[in-house]
Amino acid sequence: MRMSQLFAPTLRENPHEAEVVSHQLLTRAGYIRQIARGIYNYLPLMQRVMKKVEAIVREEMDRAGAQELLMPIMQPADLWIESGRWAVYGKELIRFKDRHDRDCVLGPTHEEVITSTANNGIHSYKQLPVNLYQIQNKYRDEVRPRFGLLRGREFIMKDAYSFHTSQADLEREYDVMAEAYRRIFLRCGLDTRMVQSDSGAIGGAVSHEFMVLTQTHSGEDDVYYCDSCGYAANGERAESILPDATVDGQAIFGTTEQVVDTPDCDDIESLTKCLKMPASLICKALLYIKDETMPFLVFIRGDLEAEEIKVQNAVAANHIRLADADEVAEFAHSAKGYVGVAGWRMCNEELPGFEGRVSLVYRAEHLKEYHLQLPVLLDSSVLNLKNFAMANNEIGKHVVGYNWPHDRASQELLETNTFDLKRARAGDQCPTCLAELNMTRGIEVGNIFQLGTKYSEAMSATYTDEDGTEKHFVMGCYGIGISRTAAAAVERYHDQDGIAWPIPIAPYVVSVVPVNADDQTQWTLAKQLYDDLQAAGVEAVIDDRDERAGVKFKDSELMGFPIRVTVGKKAADGVLEVKLREGGDVKELPAAEVLPYIRSLVEEATDFAKLEARFKAGQPAAAGAAS
C-alpha cells in the first residue's frame, strides 16, 4: 500500500472524547472513528487488524475441529421468549418491531438461534458432538459504553457453541477450547491468564475468562491470582482466606450485651472511631432488594465488602441493589448506618422468593405494629465473631458485646445460611494454597462456559440417544471479543509515540520509508524492497508521500508498523536501516540482506513454539486455574 493512497485520517492531538490509550491511539492513528456513542467505523487499517485476529481465530477453531457458520444479527423475539431470556435480559437487549409489528431483537449473543438450529439439524447421538462457531457483529445496549472498542454497543465477537451427549464429553471439549484459546491469544502476541469466573446471566455452572493483565486503569475487571499454585479468579468469583483480625470484643466490650450511644455513626469508619474498636468487630448488615420487590439482609464483617454477584447468586436473583433511605425505613424501621437485628427473633422459615435458598428469618416481635421480618444471609466472616457490635435499628445507638445464640438449633440455622459473599482483597490468602493473593486489573478477551442443558431444556432441544430415548443436548459456549482483543493489544503494546503492534496482528508488517522521495536512488531501492516484500508475502506500506522524513517517521510510529526500513543517505552504497518499533533496535544492512532478516523476524513472531517459550515465564499452568 502506498501511504499516499492509504485512507487513514490521522490526528495530531487526542480527540476530546477519548479517555483510554487504545481509544486515543486508534483514533489518532486513523484506525477507527466514532459514529455514535459506543459505535465505531473500522477504517482500513483497523479492518486489516480485525482480519488478522479473525484469521488466527479461524485457524485455531478449525484446527480444534469446530465448524464455521453465520447466524443472523436480527432475530425473532419468539426464540428469546422460548428460552426465557426475553423477560430476563433487560435493557441491554436491543428490541424493536418490524413492519408487521412483530417483536425482534439485535443479537447480543446467539444461544437461542444455535439451540434452535441444532434442534432442527441434529436428531441422533451419531451426529454428536459438534462445535459450531461464527464471527459476527453483536449488539448490547450498554448502560454506559466507554473505553472505545473495549466496551462498545456494537462489537465483533467469535462465538462457538458445542453440543454433547454427556457432561463428560462437554468437559473434554471444554479443555479442547481452553487449549485453542491459549494458542489463539499467544499467536496474537498476547499473554493471557485463564481465570475462574461467575457465569452470570448466561447460566451454567463452570466458566473461565481469558484475561490480558494490564496493571493500569484501562483494565475493567479485577483479577486475583496466586503465583505459588496458579489459582486465578475474577473479582466476582474469587475466594480468599482472611488473614488474622480481631474477632473477639471481650477486651473492649466485655461479655455482657449492652446498648451504647453512637450518634452520627452512619458508616463503619465513624463507628470505629466512636467505639474505639477495629472494624473487624462489627457485624455489618446490608439491606438489599431482590428483583425490585423482596428485601433481605446480608451480614458481613465491618472491614469487608460484599461482592454483589455472589450475593445475587446466593439468593437466585436476576438483579439486586442496596435499599434506598425510604426502603430502609419501611423494611427495617431504621436509617442508614443503624440497620441490624440485635433484639429481633431468629426463625427457621423460608419466605416467598427465597425458597431453597435462605431459611433464616429475623422478626422484630418487639415492634409488632410494623410486622417486620427479613430473610438473612451471612458471610462466613461473621460466624466466629464474639462479643461484637451490631445495630438494632435504633437510630443513634448500637449493641455491643453481642453474641450469636449458642444452642445447637440456632447454630445450625446460622451455618446453613452462611455463604461466601465477601469480595476478596489483595493480601488475603489463596484459597487453595494459603500463599498471598495478588490482585491486578485485566481486560477480558475471551470466555468459555459449560452451559449444560439450560438452553436445550428451556427450548426443548433434543436428540435421540443410543437407547432410543429423547435427551437434551449438553451444551458449551465459547466467546472471543475480536474487536476487544485488538484494542487490548493496543493497551498492552504502545508507547508515547503510538501503537506498537505485535507482528501477527499488525495491519502491515513493514513500513518502507524513502527519506527523500525525489532521490531516484532511494526511490528505486525502496520500491524494489517493497515489491520484493510483497512478492514474499510480507505485507508492507511504502511512504511515497512528498513529506519530510520526520513526518513519515512519526506516522509510521503512530500507526505502529512493527518494522520500519529507512532508505536514506546510505542508499547510494546499497545500505538500508531496519528499525524495530517495539524495543527500538536498529540494524544497518546491505539491501540484499533486508528481506531475509525481515522474514526471520516474522518467522520468530509467528512460530507457535517460539511464542510459547517467550511467554512461558509469566504463564501459569492452565491446569492450575481449573476449578
Piece of 62-70, 78-86, 304-312, 472-480 that binds RNA (CB under 7 A): 304-312
Cα distance between residue 103 and residue 100, in whole Å = 9
What lies within 8 Å, CB to CB, of 471 at 6+ separation is 125, 165, 462, 463, 464, 465
Residue 187's nearest CA partner among 374, 54, 23, 65 is 54
Question: What's at 191, amino acid-wise?
Answer: D
Judged by CB under 7 A, does residue 521 bind RNA? no
* Buried b / exposed e along 486-515 (16+ C-beta atoms within 10 A): bbbbbbbbbeeebbbbbbbbbbbbbbbbbb
Of 287, 461, 529, 605, the residue at the interface with RNA (CB under 7 A) is: 287
DSSP for residue 549:
H
Of 106, 286, 374, 503, the residue at the interface with RNA (CB under 7 A) is: 286
Piece of 49-57, 191-199, 260-268, 600-608 that binds RNA (CB under 7 A): 260-268
List binders of RNA among 565-584 (CB under 7 A). Answer: 566-570, 577, 579
- Build a one-symbol-per-residue string for 496-515: x at contacts with RNA by CB under 7 A, - elsewhere: -x-----------------x
Cα distance between residue 567 and residue 565, in whole Å = 6
Please give the C-alpha separations between residue 390 and each of 277, 322, 344, 383, 386, in angstroms, as whole numbers: 13, 18, 12, 13, 11
Of 2, 17, 179, 603, the residue at the interface with RNA (CB under 7 A) is: 17
Distance in Å, CB of 440 to RNA, minimum: 16
Evaluate whether 533 touches 595 at the Cβ level (below 8 Å).
yes
Decide whether 64 or 567 has the Cβ nearer to RNA: 567
Piece of 8-16, 155-163, 348-356, 362-370 that binds RNA (CB under 7 A): 8-16
| Residue in the structure block whose three cell numbers are 469446530 | 66
Cα distance between residue 175 and residue 348, in whole Å = 43
Piece of 68-76, 434-442, 554-562, 601-609 that binds RNA (CB under 7 A): 554-562
Decide whether 33 or 172 has the Cβ nearer to RNA: 33
Judged by CB under 7 A, does residue 102 bind RNA? no
- State the DSSP H helix or E strand holding residue 372, giving kind and residue range, or none if neither: none
- Build a one-symbol-per-residue string for 352-391: x at contacts with RNA by CB under 7 A, - elsewhere: ---------------------------------------x
Cα distance between residue 506 and residue 501, in whole Å = 5
What lies within 8 Å, CB to CB, of 126 at 6+ separation is none
Decide whether 160 or 304 has the Cβ nearer to RNA: 304
* Buried b / exposed e along 409-421 (16+ C-beta atoms within 10 A): eeeebbeebbbbb
Judged by CB under 7 A, does residue 306 bind RNA? yes
Of 52, 85, 158, 284, the residue at the interface with RNA (CB under 7 A) is: 284
Distance in Å, CB of 178 to RNA, minimum: 28
Under rule CB under 7 A, how many of the chain's residues touch RNA? 67
Grid coordinates of 21: 490509550
* Buried b / exposed e along 325-350 (16+ C-beta atoms within 10 A): eeebeebbbbbebbbbbbbbebeeee
Decide whether 120 or 496 has the Cβ nearer to RNA: 496
Judged by CB under 7 A, does residue 274 bind RNA? no
Piece of 64-72, 137-145, 370-378, 600-608 that binds RNA (CB under 7 A): 137-145
Binding site for RNA (CB under 7 A): 9-17, 19, 34, 36-38, 143-147, 266-269, 271, 282, 284-287, 300, 302, 305-306, 308, 321-325, 327-328, 336-339, 391, 423, 497, 515-516, 518, 548-551, 553-555, 557-558, 566-570, 577, 579
